[in-house]
Structure 1
């Protein structure tokens, strides 16, 4: 569940101010949309956290062998080109893109949109809101996005060219396609 705080009419947070706010309130998961609204994200249930870790682990293991990039969990925030700051459940950035970012920028909310973003629907999430969020990632340069709804055994796949596809069923596996070559993630529906 998301709770937007509409404070952009009261105060404008610079990038550094928003980062400092997040650090001072590390018990909260905060995001910022492109309008400057701060969004308080509710913690997921333990079961969703376990599922997120499984997806992250499969991508991490593939990446450990391929050494193609860097894998991040939901504690990592990224400043997208539209100015929003987002923290996908799982994300991956190609090695050459990540290594082009200065060390100083890496210690804050790195100014980059991940190449792969994964969002997992939790009990309190609104599917329509998450679909809009996936479109936001794509419009900011994401090349591949997976929105995983395990309650309905459905995966929505978003491609950088704007096309989408839906996979349904308990034996669903997702491919890294030509971006994360050789990656197959078993969704264990």
Structure 2
């Protein structure tokens, strides 16, 4: 019995496709669909972006992206992940740049918010992909347990509870937020 071989897509081909509706990512050249996130997930993403933007208004260090903006984290075959929230310093993505498509820049910081349908093994794989691509910190927020798990490129993961302070002094000196604020 013959099987049809699936053509692998590049990041550019993936990005040129029309919006088909449900969220998608490109994983090693293949399209992977996921269900739209729930309201709590969306709320948590907005809270993260809000606190980062509020801080950056007074500290012009960089820019925040959200809404699953695509990041090319692997080539040949290509992988494009949609970070829930990503921070790029102006050193990585110069101030005033208005690029479209998927650029070669890798953010310093990525936030992923765990959805009820997410498995920890899948999240761990994404975290590893981001870190291997050059992201310095990946923070996984779990709204159900109200925790933040901070993965650093050069440090062991740290789990922060609701009353702990989330900070990134190496890349965002002066920024901090109490973890519980992201879930209120």
TM range (shorter): 0.7 to 0.9
Q: CA 1:187–1:9 in 2, change beyond 3 Å: closer, same or farther?
A: farther
Alpha-carbon contact 1:138-1:162 (below 8 Å) kept: no
1:81 positional shift: 4.2
> Hey, what's the Cα distance between the residues in 1 that align with 2:103 and 2:56?
20
- The answer to which structure has the higher strand fraction is 2
Q: Is 1:170 the counterpart of 2:162 in the alignment?
A: yes
Q: CA RMSD in A?
A: 2.2
In structure 2, C-alpha distance between the alignment counterparts of 1:14 and 1:143, rounded to whole Å: 25
What does residue 19 of structure 1 align with? 15
C-alpha deviation, 1:65, in angstroms: 1.2
In structure 1, C-alpha distance between the alignment counterparts of 2:13 and 2:138, rounded to whole Å: 29
> Taking structure 1 as the reference length, what is the TM-score of the superposition?
0.84
Q: Is contact 1:145-1:159 (8 Å) kept?
A: yes
- 1:3 alignment partner in structure 2: none
Cα distance change of structure 1 residues 58 and 102 upon mapping to structure 2, 3 Å threshold: closer
CA contact (8 A) 2:166 2:179 kept: yes
Match of 2:83 in 1: 88
CA offsets 1:66-110 (integer angstroms, 9 cap, x no match): 11011000231111244311111111011021129975xx20012
Using structure 2 for the length normalisation, give the TM-score: 0.86
Worse-superposed segment, 82-91 or 135-144: 82-91
Gaps of 5+ in 2: none
